[in-house]
Structure 1
Amino acid sequence: MPAHSIEARASQRAFFGVSALLFAVSTAVTIAGAASMSAMGEMPMSGGWTMSATWMPMCGQTWPGLAASFLGMWVVMMVAMMLPSLIPMLRRYREAVSRTGVTGLGWLTLVVGVGYFFVWTAFGIAVFPLGAALAALEMQQPTLARAVPFAMGVIVLIAGALQFTAWKARRLACCRATPARCLMLPALPADAATAWHHGLRLGLHCSYCCASLTTVLLVAGVMDLRVMAAVTAAITVERLAPRGERVARVIGVGIVGAGVLLIVRAVGLG
């Protein structure tokens, strides 16, 4: 067997081994963090719902400390949730770049992955102040708090409807296609700068494609393990299963149904 073939197989095994380890560690940390957050309890709110400790400082905790805690947990959670669907894209990138004979393929793959998760980190930085500000308003305004269950149902319903749009179909088609077709592999020669930009492009495409499912995660329970597991499964299946557009619509039916159920429940509580 040629030496380069043996080296390629070893590199591929290392790639999958590191990916599996990273997924296992991020999943374990996510579970532990969610359990810790759950142990802190939730605050009863007007309207018959409870607010997670995710958005409010605990005794002795500062706002910067809460923000840092949220962002750290967000990044680890995104790694655990997005890695299953990212690995095939990274593998295709590696296959395309390896044909050029470039060295340091492992390093370039790492740079692509860091660029990808940088996008999700930036999203988390934007989400926290909005969520914290909304939580503060809900605690100060009982009328607003009472409207939250109904608003949650409406938002989930809209997120489900987004799964049926042509916009979603185009975004999903790009995420499922080969990088050369929709994501424009970096111009050769491959280097850290082009790998970084490719990772950013992957992250942006992914965040667009996952907009509806990420909205469900934020609304239904950003630190709820059941919601995280369901969203992770939905993202992975619609990316990797045959006929992904049809799968996305089936997922949309489920999300719409959940939104209707939340609205009915909110009206009943009202």
Structure 2
Amino acid sequence: MGHVSATGGRDMSGRSIDARVSQRAFFGVSALLFTVSTAVTIVGGTSMSAMGEMPMPGGWTMSMAWMRMCGQTWPGVAASFLGMWVVMMVAMMLPSLVPMLWRYREAVGGTGETCLGWLTVLVGAGYFFVWTAFGMAVFPLGVALAALEMELPVLARAVPLAVGVIVLIAGALQFTAWKTRRLACCRNTPGRCLMLSANAATAWRHGLCLGLHCSYCCAGLTMILLVAGVMDLRVMAAVTAAIAVERLAPRGERMARVVGAGIVGAGVLLMARAVGLG
């Protein structure tokens, strides 16, 4: 009995050490990826700002992200935008994704460290594939809208008010039952993870599912990013903080409403300025 107990003790100790090493490796790689993506996003945003913006009727400026510069082709512009979009999404969403990935690892942790690492990568790849597809849809719409605004001064003059209205709607969305349900899907994933099989196809589908739920939950905040400055570092930082707070805070639903109150106030201010009251 003593021999069995000692062996069991060594096995449990060994598994505990392996778990700690796995945990440190996971969070270390996540921190490195976040640091690199944030640095690249800052460099890209800074270089975009250095290119300047186009003054538009109505007293606002249009980002060069939606325009083709001299010597560029539209496929090249699209590829540049999509690459920057993906890196930006990694920097913005990774703080909220890491806890979900860790819960997935805990649920399928008996598969071996090498297999577990690849499965985690597949979940993350599926998640960011959804955001990549969203960026692919956003770019042609943004380019088309920018072209219309340059051709129609009346439409361009309405943009500041339209931005205020969109921000106001996005803030109001934070108070809805729909938002509460979507946020619960993003926060309460352990039960779903426990029912997952440890294989590549399931990991990919789980990543897609997480990405879809996350994109629904972040719909209002993503709209703010798009209309207030898709490559504006200040807007990126504010949206990232809002997403992280409502996902990671102990009472996320209440924090979502606090964020919503701030957004509603910003929307009202933007609308007041647009009509000349601010």
> Which interval holds the TM-score relative to the shorter structure?
over 0.9
1:240 aligns with 2:251: no
Aligned counterpart, 1:94: 105
Q: CA-to-partner distance for each residue in 1:131-190, whole Å, 9 max, x for gaps?
A: 00000000011110000001110011111100000000001111111332xxx3375541
**Equivalent residue, structure 2, for 1:26:** 37
C-alpha distance 243-26 of structure 1, shift in aligned 2 (>3 A): same
SS in 2 for 1:57: coil
For 2:245 and 2:31, how far apart are their aligned partners in 1?
A: 18
2:258 to 204, 226, 250: 250
Deviation at 1:225, TM superposition (A): 0.4
Q: Are the aligned partners of 1:49 and 1:149 in contact in 2 as well (CA < 8 Å)?
A: yes
Q: Distance in 2 between matches of 1:47 and 1:101?
A: 60
Task: Say which is worse superposed, 96-105 or 81-90, in terms of deviation.
Answer: 96-105
Please say if 1:104 is aligned against 2:115.
yes
Q: CA deviation at 1:9?
A: 1.6
2:222 to 198, 203, 214: 214
Task: Give the 3-state SS of the residue equivalent to 2:108 in structure 1.
Answer: helix
Contact 1:48 1:269 in 2 (8 A): no
The question of 1:265 aligning with 2:273 is answered: yes
Percentage of pairs with the same residue: 81
Q: Deviations over 1:218-263 (max 9, x none)?
A: 1111100000000000000000111111100010011111111111
For 1:130, the equivalent position in structure 2 comes to 141
- 1:78 matched to 2:89? The reply is yes
Identify which range, 11-20 or 184-193, moves more after superposition: 184-193
Instruction: Specify whether residues 186 and 67 from structure 1 end up closer, same or farther in structure 2 by C-alpha distance, changes over 3 A only.
Output: farther
Q: Evaluate the alpha carbon distance shift between residue 121 and residue 186 of structure 1 in structure 2; reply closer, same or farther with a 3 A threshold.
A: farther
3-state secondary structure, aligned to 1:41:
coil
Q: Secondary structure at the match of 2:61?
A: strand
1:53-102 CA distances to partner (integer Å, 9 max, x unpaired)? Answer: 01001111111111101000000000000000100000000001114668
* Alpha-carbon contact 1:186-1:198 (below 8 Å) kept: no
Output the amino acid matched with 2:38. T
Unaligned ranges ≥5, structure 1: none
The normalised TM-score by structure 2 is 0.93
Q: Distance in 2 between matches of 1:140 and 1:221?
A: 21
Hey, what's the Cα distance between the residues in 1 that align with 2:196 and 2:276? 60
Equivalent residue for 2:6? none
The structure number with the bigger radius of gyration is: 2
Shift of 1:113: 0.3
TM-score normalized by structure 1?
Answer: 0.95
For 1:118, the equivalent position in structure 2 comes to: 129
Secondary structure in 2 matching 1:19? helix
Contact 2:22 2:113 in 1 (8 A): no
Offset of residue 10 of structure 1 = 1.3
Deviations 1:2-26 (A, max 9, x none): 3222222211111111000000000
Say whether the 8 Å CA contact 1:186–1:195 is kept in structure 2: no
**Which residue identity does 1:251 align to in structure 2?**
V
Partner of 1:10: 21
SS at match of 2:224: helix
Distance 1:190 1:99 in 2: 9
Tell me which of 225, 231, 239 is aligned to 2:233: 225
User: Stretches of 4+ moved more than 3 A in 1?
Assistant: 99-103, 186-189
Structure 1 pair 35–269 and aligned structure 2 pair: CA distance change class (3 A): farther
Aligned residue type for 2:142: G
Give 3-state SS (helix, strand or coil) of 1:104's partner.
helix
Give the equivalent residue in structure 1 for 2:212. Answer: 204
Give the partner amino acid of 1:196.
W
Aligned length: 267
Asked whether the equivalents of residues 217 and 228 of structure 1 are also in contact (C-alpha less than 8 Å), the reply is yes
Alpha-carbon distance between aligned partners in 2 of 1:161 and 1:61, rounded to the nearest angstrom: 40
Q: 1:137 to 1:94 in 2, by over 3 A?
A: same
Conservation of the 8 A alpha-carbon contact between 1:43 and 1:52: yes
Bigger shift: residues 139-148 or 171-180: 171-180
Q: CA deviation at 1:193?
A: 0.6
